Amino acid sequence: MASNLNLGLFFKGSLEEDPAAALQELMRAILIRSQFLPAVRHALGWRGLKQSPAELEGWTAKIKDHAGVFGLFFMGLEPTPDRATGRFGLCYFPDPAEPLVERCSLKAAAVTQRADYHQRFRDFMQHIEIGELFGVGSLLLSVRQDQRALGLAMYGMSALRTVAREGVRLPREGQMVQLVAPGGYDQDLPAFEVALGFFEVLAASVTFNLEQAPGSLMEARYPAHQRAYDASGATFSMDAPDLWDGVLALGYGEGNVNDLAAAVGPAKGAPSAVIIADGPETAPEAYRDRLWWRAHQLKGSISVDKNILGVDERPPLIILTGFLGAGKTSFLQRFIEYQTQRHRFVAVIQNEIGAVGLDGKLLDYTVTEIDEGCVCCGLAGNLGAALRDILAKFSPDYVILETTGLANPLNLVDEMAALSEMVRLDATVTLVDAANLETALARSPIAADQIRAADVIVVNKRDLVDAAALEAVCERVRSINPRAPQFRTVNGDLNPAFVFDVDGRPTGRPGPAASIHASAPDAGHAHATHAESGLWSRTLTLARPLDRRKFLDAVAALPSSVFRVKGLVDFTDCADPMLFQYVAGRFELSILPRRNETERFLTVIGQGSDSGACAALQTLP
């Protein structure tokens, strides 16, 4: 018996007033809410999610068991009686090294080897041609007008096949090389199989969000044709008895999923095969164990990542500040993408002066916005309320407070003490516009205070000034804040491993600075390397409990070249192990929640000369 839907749990859109906007909002809610709890997100199969800014809804996603990246985008409405139905295009951008590239078209395979390939598919909504090259099918999201039935369907060919009738020959090193034999396949991509991988994760997410399993399944297969082209470039269709055009649909709530599939199915006459099921017991073997039947049973939990890292239960809070136009939102988007790829959830509190915070509509996650004022001035008390609301609903691995460009973070010092039970202040990150620093300093003293408050300074837009001007900017910033490390970036593209992933253990693994090449951003950009930034990393093994006073004296003596220390420490006056966190002169000790961690160590990150920087700490063990 079909269950009643409760879309009101997470969907507030109006299907009657603006069905296109409502369906995009519904898809957004399904995607975003599936990311909130890291353990659930991982179980569903998500491995990364990023919104691709454009007029219409677009996303890139990594999912389990796929080396490449999927692209999902809204195409428009489909006419269906008594339903609002939207079609979403689905692309798959293979990893350049995965075997599937060999089954793509020659043109698509060549694109995967270009230096700008990653950037182009990451912003695929801005590059229509790349979406056309790597399309694998489409999805339908349909809701009955009374919101008592929801359908999710997938369309795709068993294989996207293109025959080169005369073959393909291209010059290489002065000779003509036969790339495709006459009558051979330029493309033979198993589109339905690839699309099904994404569909299962998305359908499981629908099940999880609706808190109910689908009540019906239908698969229909229609005859299909393969494409061909001749030496002149003319294209035509050819019979292909082994190919089929597939429709897979799931129905939730009331109604019959067959109606949805029939209303928007391929106009190719009667299907050659149809499968109908009302649950996993009656489903064909290929669909019997799919996660969409049981994802409503998943339960949230505290993030596994936090337990692995040995941190306390309070999520770290990063204050992101910088004068107007410095590039805070670009930095934030990069940071979220980096953490999402590592199965971590970032909660964002965003503050804008004015009636509406526009940046909140552009980010990867639904954010908590504090509008009509400045969080560092009149709305400081609202920060606590926003944090309580976030922590009541989710278990974030990071909380980021993005302040308005006119905010003075020094005014948040008192507020941080009051919030220490909920979050742990990790760092204040200030972005500086290299091309407009002097203008900002002249316009407002707040620009200098933002630099003065920083634990980490990102000198952004370095590509807009020459080398001499860049050095002058860095020296000017250093005169305001001589203790904070500086990083030089383009588009706010700082690898978070430089600063935030202090995870060193005495296991022989390289520290964050030493391993930065392994997690470097995409090639083809002007990135700061760890060598250019002068970073170094040391991990000290602690063989026995430490004298607390001597330890704190050593910490107080750390030079300004050390800006980050993290580790697990035993003290002679305490029975419990302690977690030590140090950022740019500020430190915190807290009891480790888990008692089964046996290693004791300190990982130290610095910038510039490391001569004697760790000397005081090294004498402690």
Three-class secondary structure of residue 24 per DSSP: helix
Residue 145's pLDDT is: 85
Amino acid identity of 539? Answer: T
Element (H, E) at 208: helix 191-210
* Ramachandran sector of residue 30 (left: φ over 0; alpha: ψ -120 to 50; beta: rest): alpha
Rounded CA gap, 332 and 426, in Å? 15
Pair of tokens at residue 306:
């936090």
Residue 517's pLDDT is: 28
Distances (CA, A) of 368 to 134, 145, 302, 352, 619: 35, 30, 21, 11, 46
User: Within 229-319, where are the H helices?
Assistant: 257-264, 285-288, 304-309
Pair of tokens at residue 429:
């990150």
Rounded CA gap, 596 and 594, in Å? 6
Residue that has been written with the tokens 């795709």 in this structure: 156
Find the angle CA(71)-CA(345)-CA(352) to the nearest 5 degrees: 90
Residue 554's pLDDT is: 85
Domains located in the chain, CATH noted: 7-297 (no CATH), 302-494 (3.40.50.300), 506-621 (3.30.1220.10)
Residue 51's pLDDT is: 78
User: What residues of the chain score a pLDDT lower than 50?
Assistant: 1, 301-311, 352-380, 503-532
Rounded CA gap, 91 and 135, in Å? 4
Residue 590's pLDDT is: 72
Rounded CA gap, 519 and 529, in Å? 11
Residue 483's pLDDT is: 81
User: b or e along 163-201 (b: 16 or more beta carbons within 10 Å of the residue's beta carbon)?
Assistant: bbeeebbeeeeeeeeeebeeeebbbbbbbbebbbbbbbb
DSSP annotation of 255: S
Please write down the HEC assignment for all residues of 574-608. CCCCEEEEEECCEEEEEECCCCCCCCCEEEEEEEC
pTM over 0.75: no
Residue 366 burial by Cβ neighbours in a 10 Å radius (0-12, 13-18, 19+):
middle
User: Within 424-557, where are the H helices?
Assistant: 437-443, 445-452, 467-480, 530-533, 548-556
